Amino acid sequence: MADRFALCGRIVTNGREIKDGLVIVSGEAIEYAGSAGDYKQVLPERVQQAGGGIICPGFVDMHMHGIAGADTMDGTPEALQTISRTLAGYGVTSFLATTMTAAYDELEKAIRNVVETSRRGLDGAEVIGIHLEGPWINPRYKGAQQEEKITTPRLEDVRRLYELAEGMLRVVTIAPERAGALDAVRWLSERGVIVSAGHTGASFAEAQTAVENGVRHFTHCFNAMSGLHHREPGVVGAAMYHESLSTELIADGVHVHPAVMRILYRIKSAARLALVSDSMRAAALGQGVYELGGQEVHVTEKEAQLADGTLAGSILTLNRAVRNMVSLSGVPLAEAVAMASETPAAILGAGEHKGKLQAGYDADLIVMGEDYQVRATYVRGRLVYQS
């Protein structure tokens, strides 16, 4: 018989809050989620109280490289397990293992590892796909990626990495103005891969052409892309202009000013704005000197930088991103939670079974304190973290 239990307390999901909330889990799925007063059947024998905490859908991080000393590019099962276990402590129940610009043999190793390790199963957060960030980006907008490893997309290389991923390639970040990029955009989008404009210096007109050819998403909006000007809207302008297209936001208050975070939220709405961590291996380790793609990274309390001051990914976690949207940008809690759960799940095509507390959905849920610290995390009904 499937394990069956109930969680009682304040629920935040589907853009609303339920004070007398009840979530019943049966096996790997949610059996009921709603008001306790509306539930008329017999409760499970095991009933747990949230104890003043908030019950939320598990967070979905669609752009994260590493954490706790491990990185997707390490290409080992141990690294992916470390990432999976650590993410659970910050409320993430699903994530895309994200690569960075590297030689093709390094990318192939990382992709193989994600495919093989995911089949064996992970101890914490579930890896639900791969996000390929580079190597087909613009050198002028490389951010912390290594310029000597940046290359132009050739369909034979695109096809090889796609096939190697065995259906797990979910997102590809590309600079659409690069030679050969539009061919790659069309080829990938025809196969259901989300093509995202990022690390790009495209003009607004070039971004428009990219959208017409299949770009549907924008990688960490404002960062490593041509900015908004009243006579040349750039890629930022394109991200704002296309209401139906989605975009990412690194909501640490460093990559993007809190006022601009709120402006982007008001333009895109919670339904089209996904909070991402873009975290690198130094996340969750504290201040010090670390490594990213062979480069030395200096980490302070709030940010990670290369020696020249370039921001090098982030040390953000999604529970803090949710907190920042509420405390720094005045976003309602329920919408901030949605931007870390329901929205990314929907963008990734998983919105019918992940990202909400709703009957029939995967039992991916967390209990988070009023201080936004995660107390418990469940992945498909299995307790994978408890503080």
Residue 166, CA distances (Å) to 130, 160, 162, 163, 195 in order: 10, 10, 7, 5, 17
Q: Which of 336, 358, 330, 382 is nearest to 59 (CA)?
A: 336
Q: Is 43 annotated as a binding residue?
A: no
| 232 annotated among ligand-binding-site residues | no
Q: Is 165 annotated as a binding residue?
A: no
Is 183 marked active-site?
no
Please identify which of the residues 61, 71, 74, 278 carries the catalytic annotation: 278
**Would you say 307 is a known binding-site residue?**
no
220 assigned binding-site residue = yes
**313 marked ligand binding residue:** yes
Beta-carbon contacts of residue 116 (< 8 Å; ≥ 6 apart): 77
CA torsion through residues 371, 275, 235, 351, sign: negative
Integer angstrom CA distances of residue 2 from 5, 6, 186, 377, 383: 10, 13, 44, 19, 14
On whether 255 is known to bind a ligand per the annotation, the reply is yes
Tokens read off for 340: 């870390």
β-strand pairing of 215-218 with 194-197: parallel
Q: Could you tell me the two tokens for 107? A: 């990318």
Q: Which of 47, 51, 17, 52 is nearest to 35 (CA)?
A: 17
Known binding-site positions for Zn(2+)? 133, 199, 220
Supply the residues annotated as catalytic.
278
Known binding-site positions for substrate? 144, 223-224, 231, 255, 311-313
Known binding-site positions? 133, 144, 199, 220, 223-224, 231, 255, 311-313
